[in-house]
Amino acid sequence: MTPVAKALTSLGFKPVAKGMTDAVIVPEGYSAQVIYALGDPLSANVPAFKNDGTDEHFDQRAGDHHDGMEWFGLDEQGKPSRHGATRGLIAMNHEATTDEKLSSFFIHANGGTATLPRPTAEVDKELMIHGLSVVEMRKQGDRWAYNPASGYNRRVTTMSEAAIHGPARGSEHLVTRFSSDASKVRGTLNNCGAGPTPWGTYVSGEENWFGYFHRDAKDDTARKGDKQVQALNRYGRKAGAASRHGWESAGQADQYARWNNSATGASAKDDYRNEMNTFGYIVELDPYDKAQVLRKRSALGRMGHENVTFSPVEPGKPVVAYMGDDSRGEYMYKFVSDALWDAADASNRLAAGDKYLDKGTLYVARFKEDGTGEWIELSMKNPKIAGHAAFQFTSEADVAIFTRLAADAVGATKMDRPEWGGVNPRNGEIYFTLTNNSKRTAETTDAANPRYYTDKKGSKEQKGNVNGHIMRMAQAQPADVNFRWDIYLFASEAGADRSTVNLSNLTDENDLSSPDGLVFSKATGICWIETDDGAYTDTTNCMLLAALPGQLGDGDAKALKYGDKTVTTYAGKPQTPATLKRFLVGPKGAEITGICETPDGKALFINIQHPGENTAMADVGNPANYESQWPANIGYGAGKRPRSATIVITKNDGGLIGA
Ligand code: FEO
Ligand code: CA
Ligand code: CA
Ligand code: CA
């Protein structure tokens, strides 16, 4: 195991109360500072952000909807250093935008255009506020600041060139007008969770990319005989599907036309019928090298990727990674590299290069009723895939591109929306947040997704697994195909019934809904849990909690009854504020997401995503009606429009966060 630098045995702070103020609340003795918000310049040549809808140059500014991020240290001279704790780079996802009726309304002067066709000037901005950024951060005295003039600062957008790696490279299903040999693509989109590789690069998951594509109503007919019609339906794009922003409507120029994923030309070389197949991957970025293009790692499958997290590496053993596909009823995956870990690569990302993520075996999880489970191989070696009647797989490229269909073929377990995965550095156990699932029914409950209930709030009623849970898995060796599991935590409101809903005995100090971000600190061993909640936001804004989890099997079996059906599940030990405590509550309308720390554990970076997202587009220009005015309301930047932003949290005595 990777040793935790200073493994905590208790949480040293007073819990933060639930609340609905338009502010970031941290425990007594801690400070939070905004350091990097939507629109902030990433070049000395770009003007300050006016935040009134007239700003330009978004390819050289912070993007929108800050999500997953990771710290990459620098030494005092500005050279890469894994120990750098006062100067470093943060690589970050800019997942999406605050939008209504096609328009990302806070970045347009009048809220933008809600009808088709979208004006090119608006689309040009929206294309640039998605993607990734790399930004240099520095601590001077007690204060942190980003450096707008750093030579490391970088944006990757929906239009940046990227390389296809792994089995999908060269596939007929990736041939586009842009790349007739299916080797390169443009852009990354809807990047959600993120993390580091064992060799010190950044990996990020492309999540809800499919929603950005338009399909003509008659596209199924135009594609007669194309097996992809089935895949397009499975991946959420039926013929006639409208795109989220209408980018394809802005003109015939290639940067607009590519968002129409329809067969309009004579062959795939003449149109963008395969464009959707160029998204849905884990992407790898070298944060220290702007010249290195983004790499799409197709060996890790194509889905609604949240993040990818690695087991602690051991010399001479394969590198093993875990991934969730965040949609209702989707699956959990594992990748085992063919290459064996060379410890020298931990400090040599250039030598690691493409060694670990291009060749290996992809698996999908099946959970059994007895608390065990199995990783099922997804490859042409599995007769259930090679001989699958409903969809003809002909190559490993097909498995890499149409991964969801391969997982369907082998009977994997349909989960309650797998979001972030994390691995406990103390014992190698794997954690996955299953955020919630409004489509779970009593009939489809199973041991691993056992809750179905009704949550009533006045006139609002939600059914299913309303609040989500956190799965925990253990394996004798990371590459094993067998695992054991239990449910570490059942998210719940404190007042809910303790025999059917609040199975972890949560109280006012630690109750939560919809766990999403989950990262273990390598400095302290704390498991940080972030929420993205639609069911508790009538009572509290989203939050960050700190946990000191036990280990698999530390709780009891629980029986849940649905009519004649009894589901037996395995709950982790009941929680108390000693093991789980609320650390932060965010501003109005914001999700708490993205989390990383300096290697000394003394600075914790958190992303506040989409404050004020419930503002009506019609109210743009009328600040009194904004749901949130954060972070302008604490003096950060111009204007009053709310902005997604990175904050840094420090302890006032300079100590470890959470101790
Ligand atoms: Fe982008 Fe699954 O949250
Ligand atoms: Ca998420
Ligand atoms: Ca979420
Ligand atoms: Ca969100």
The 10s digit of each residue's pLDDT in 617-643 is 999 999 999 999 999 999 999 999 999
Local confidence band at 2 (pLDDT 50, 70, 90 cut-offs): low
161-191: pLDDT as tens digits: 999 999 999 999 999 999 999 999 999 999 9
Model pLDDT, residue 5? 84
413-427: pLDDT as tens digits: 999 999 999 999 999
Q: Domain range holding 234? A: 53-301+346-357
How far is residue 659 from each of residues 9, 352, 471, 556, measured CA to CA in Å?
A: 9, 35, 25, 29
pLDDT at 3 over 90: no
Residues within a 6 A CB radius of ligand 1: 95, 192, 207, 306, 326, 419, 516
Residue 3 lies in a domain: no
Model pLDDT, residue 620? 98
- Judged by its nearest atom, the ligand closest to the C-alpha of residue 610 is 4
Local confidence band at 403 (pLDDT 50, 70, 90 cut-offs): very high
CA of 305 to the centre of ligand 2 (A): 10
Domain count for the chain: 1
Mean pLDDT to the nearest integer, 67-74: 98
577-619: pLDDT as tens digits: 999 999 999 999 999 999 999 999 999 999 999 999 999 999 9
Phi, psi at 269, each rounded to 5°: -75, -15
pLDDT at 456 over 90: no
pLDDT at 566 over 70: yes
Nearest-CA residue for ligand 1 atom 3 is 192
Residue 436 lies in a domain: no
Local confidence band at 575 (pLDDT 50, 70, 90 cut-offs): very high
CA of 435 to the centre of ligand 3 (A): 6
Model pLDDT, residue 359? 98
The phi-psi region of residue 451 (left if phi > 0; otherwise alpha if psi is between -120 and 50; otherwise beta) is beta
Contacting residues for 507 by C-beta, under 8 A, at least 6 apart: 494, 576, 577
State if pTM tops 0.90: yes
The rounded distance, in Å, linking the Cα atoms of 144 and 512 is 30
CA of 237 to the centre of ligand 2 (A): 21
485 and 375 Cβ atoms separated by less than 8 Å: no
Residue 110 lies in a domain: yes
Pick the atom of ligand 1 nearest to 96's CA: 1
Burial 243-264 (b: 16+ CB within 10 A, else e): bbbbbbbbeeeebbbbbbbbbe
CA of 389 to the centre of ligand 1 (A): 32
Burial 114-135 (b: 16+ CB within 10 A, else e): eeeebeeebbbbbbbbbbbbbb
Protein residues near ligand 2, an ion, with CB under 5 A = 192, 419, 516
pLDDT at 278 over 70: yes
424 and 527 Cβ atoms separated by less than 8 Å: yes
Model pLDDT, residue 457? 80
Residue 117 lies in a domain: yes
CA of 58 to the centre of ligand 4 (A): 21
pLDDT at 306 over 70: yes
Model pLDDT, residue 460? 85
Model pLDDT, residue 459? 76
The rounded distance, in Å, linking the Cα atoms of 158 and 106 is 19
Average pLDDT of the residues of the chain: 97
Burial 617-644 (b: 16+ CB within 10 A, else e): beebeeeeebbbbbbbbeebbebbbbbb
Local confidence band at 1 (pLDDT 50, 70, 90 cut-offs): low
CA of 562 to the centre of ligand 4 (A): 32
**Tokens, residue 594:** 């993205």
Residue 641 lies in a domain: no
H, E, C per residue of 181-246: CCCEEECCCCEEEEEECCCCCEEEEECCHHHHCECCCCHHHHCCCCCHHHHHHHCCCCCCCCCCCC
The one-letter code for the residue type at 118 is R
471-485: pLDDT as tens digits: 999 999 999 999 999
Share of the chain above pLDDT 70, in %: 100
Pick the atom of ligand 1 nearest to 190's CA: 1
Local confidence band at 360 (pLDDT 50, 70, 90 cut-offs): very high
Overall size of the chain counted in residues: 659
- Judged by its nearest atom, the ligand closest to the C-alpha of residue 533 is 3
Residue 350 lies in a domain: yes
Nearest-CA residue for ligand 1 atom 1 is 192
What are the DSSP E strand ranges found in 22-122?
30-37, 66-73, 87-94
Mean pLDDT to the nearest integer, 327-331: 98
Residue 92 lies in a domain: yes
Residue 571 lies in a domain: no
